[in-house]
Structure 1
């Protein structure tokens, strides 16, 4: 699950770079949503430990 959280973080960072550089307005919203998803997955993976 930590792997997926890191993948979501990477996608969110790429979307943020595109969105905050005014290349795509929708990318900023996507980055914010993906960042929240990353935080949720990260907290869940920390809470569950390395059981996978």
Structure 2
């Protein structure tokens, strides 16, 4: 088996790890941003509703 050789193939495995971590960071960042936007929209609607009364 030539698995260890492919595991320690330097740049390519490092690039793969970097790409995977960048992708997971993007997912986490995206979901946090989405939650923040939803919370902001909800608070704006509440403010508008209380301003009308």
* TM-score normalized by the length of structure 1: 0.47
Which protein is bigger by CA-based radius of gyration?
A: 2
Instruction: Tell which has more relative contact order, 1 or 2 (C-alpha 8 A, sep 6+).
Output: 1
Q: Which has the larger share of helix?
A: 2
